[in-house]
Structure 1
């Protein structure tokens, strides 16, 4: 394989054909590839539809349904508090299902997570309101949000690992960006459904209309579950199983067990790839959930702009994402993961303060453009690069576990708490500038992480060691 030169230092690709390239030489292997690709896209679509539905509902509806006696700002904080519960659950799900995926296979976990997420999201649509069952209503909401997060903690990384391990090495950035296309499709679907639902009169919307998006998610879950039950394990995992079985056979023939060499490296060197992934995730996830989570509620509840304006902005940004995401993946294949990611972080740092200044105009067109640009940078482009880079950072032995836990740890430190922290800042200071500083801080962490991260484009995913 030929690696295109760039200013970044790139690893040498293995001269041996990769597991993915080998499988793609057969017609059945190509069918497996497309089946896995569609399955991963659909599953991630559902995950992000669920989370986008909840984010939009938290900013627009849940305050009235589950916290009707609170002031607007307190209701917004309470809604985003239950929103954050899902992110607390995600690292737990990442650790549990990541461990299972590294030992029993990617396919098994992908079937479990889609079932868990589908059931949780559907049940959210069946929760009675606060007026009907009192405090049990927000309690049930928080519990189902936790269960939803438990499955989501492994779904996104599982999809990224599966696509990365199926993709040909020279197109891994582009193929892996399909995971980001799934997230974009989910956001698009959620915003489209909400645009339709918001046309209802207020009383019908609060009584039953808001439930429609959550109940309808069961259709996506059913289709994704059917496809995943008939999906084949990734070529990288299958080759790894063959290697381990051969090692066990040779050990048994020699009459002794193999003893792994003790790793004498420092703690930082042994965990460097993990902490780099945490930093990269903070730089993407924090700004992303401020752009498509907090700002939605801020514009609708605080600035009192018509609710259809931020919802339409999310919808338009999601449409543009079908161009932005694959372009970002292609750029990372062409120029390298590190330099592409770094430029997205720089643009996010430059975006924060002008964005809030523009939102203060309350002009619908300006507000929409500001939200669209923010999502294009934070929720679409940078995420399209992250998918392949995250998979390549880790060795095959514990890839799923390390990547999933690192991503979700970074997520809970940034995206999961960002809307809540921003709401608290707004309540305490009454101004947007601390939120802009917070935005810049998280994007800056991602920027700094790129200077410690290795370039991994074209890496053999069957290598056991992390790319450090």
Structure 2
């Protein structure tokens, strides 16, 4: 059995690493790398979400009605989310066995290449049917890499962070996503100022081609990463067990990947409550405002830009709150606010007033895309035992994405086409937030948990 002192050493593995100059250097390198990789992932997805709402209908589906073009654009959006759990399962398995670094390097290459190639696809006017086919293929490979990138960065930061500040440090992952959204909105804010003919002909390609620069920088940094203190501790304990120096604590219920499923299901519910409202707020609402309400494109992109700026305050504050008061209660309040937000938001959007529209989008992103995710990062890491942490968390998150964020813009567009009114979309928004809210009542409080514990939190 592991002795109490050994378990205590495991608890303080990250803190011990930070006592040395080299350890602090490793921590900051890992922090910057995780931030940059997540920034790239979300820049890619925000670029695609904005492009789907603003331009892809004209470039890849020019013969469709405005509503059907929006629906088709978000259908290709959903393909990336279908690929994400496949990538999460494969790369999560690899990361739990071979280490976090190899996955972090591989995924950044895959995502960067896919996004760059999207910017090189000829339009429908040039190659016809093959244009959307190429878009779907590259969207799939982009999602395959992204399925492990976000969770990999979350696991790495959580396992590097000192226990008492794990919520704050882990929220840097959400800062990365916010930075990516900010980069995407800045680029698109500049691009949409172009003449419509130029924008449709070649201007929309600029944001996708520029993402290769971020990928190259992230790859260069990640080549020098070290494994996390928690993963190194795990390997050391396994080596000691093989040499007969230590009997590993291994509960019977944790010997199989799927035998303990409560934490997996909890993560699934938490993810639905966050990811669905998030992608409705920063994905569908953009297309709805531009294509259906005919509000100027710059209004939506300006709103995303403002929300991204505010995110640099909202995200770490949410992480700090979870360190101070606990993950569960803070997450629950964010979900409740999202439920209360849904119907008034769409009522106000119908005013078509630029200031009101911007305020609605900023508020939605502040709650769903920024604050709630600042809490989820540390909570997700703490829910799972060290043996299968990467695989379980990544798979749960990406399955949750398919059930919520990945299909949310598509379902919302279909509901709009079917009903011709926003009430069904607002109901859909509120239901997903309610799933997250109810999940917090069955989820454990994990603040400060020993990340080297082999068993799941529940």
Q: TM-score, normalised by structure 1?
A: 0.94
Q: Which residue of 2 aligns with 1:244?
A: 238
Q: How is 1:135-284 mapped onto 2 (pairs within 5 angstroms)?
A: 135-250=129-244, 262-263=252-253, 270-284=260-274
Q: Which residue of 2 aligns with 1:350?
A: 340
Distance 1:25 1:364, change over 3 A: same
Q: Which deviations, in whole Å up to 9, do the C-alpha atoms of 1:101-149 show, x marking residues without a partner?
A: 0000001000000000000000000000000000100000000000000
1:270 partner SS = coil
- Aligned counterpart in structure 2 of residue 95 of structure 1, from 66, 72, 89: 89
Distance 1:269 1:263, change over 3 A: closer
Distance 1:462 1:320 in 2: 35
Distance 1:383 1:264, change over 3 A: closer
Distance 1:326 1:208 in 2: 38
Distance 1:113 1:195 in 2: 28
Distance 2:433 2:220 in 1: 39
Q: Which residue of 1 aligns with 2:101?
A: 107
Distance 1:264 1:78, change over 3 A: closer
Q: How is 1:37-436 mapped onto 2 (pairs within 5 angstroms)?
A: 37-250=31-244, 262-263=252-253, 270-436=260-426
Q: Which deviations, in whole Å up to 9, do the C-alpha atoms of 1:249-274 show, x marking residues without a partner?
A: 118x99xxx99764399999820000
- Aligned counterpart in structure 2 of residue 449 of structure 1, from 439, 448, 451: 439
Q: Which deviations, in whole Å up to 9, do the C-alpha atoms of 1:38-82 show, x marking residues without a partner?
A: 000000000000000000000000000000000000000000000
Distance 1:55 1:133 in 2: 23
> Any stretches of 5+ residues in structure 1 without a counterpart?
1-13
Distance 1:194 1:99 in 2: 36
Shift of 1:354: 0.3
Distance 1:267 1:239 in 2: 20
Q: Which residue of 1 aligns with 2:3?
A: none
Q: Which deviations, in whole Å up to 9, do the C-alpha atoms of 1:269-320 show, x marking residues without a partner?
A: 8200000000000000000000000000000000000111011000000000
- Structure 2 residue 453 is matched with structure 1 residue 459: no
CA contact (8 A) 2:39 2:177 kept: yes
Distance 1:168 1:196 in 2: 40
* Residue range with higher mean Cα deviation, 266-275 or 323-332: 266-275
Distance 1:233 1:426, change over 3 A: same
> Any stretches of 5+ residues in structure 2 without a counterpart?
1-6
Distance 1:159 1:266 in 2: 24
Distance 1:212 1:264 in 2: 48
CA contact (8 A) 2:249 2:454 kept: no
Distance 1:209 1:25, change over 3 A: same
CA contact (8 A) 2:76 2:139 kept: yes
* Residue range with higher mean Cα deviation, 15-24 or 318-327: 15-24
Distance 2:104 2:426 in 1: 37
CA contact (8 A) 2:257 2:388 kept: no
Runs (4 or more) in structure 1 with deviation over 6 Å come to 258-261, 264-269
How many pairs are equivalent? 452
Distance 1:46 1:298, change over 3 A: same
Q: Which residue of 2 aligns with 1:6?
A: none
CA contact (8 A) 2:337 2:367 kept: yes
Q: Which deviations, in whole Å up to 9, do the C-alpha atoms of 1:327-363 show, x marking residues without a partner?
A: 0000000000000000000000000000000000000
The CA RMSD measured in Å over matched residues stands at: 1.9
Distance 1:261 1:363, change over 3 A: closer
Shift of 1:190: 0.1
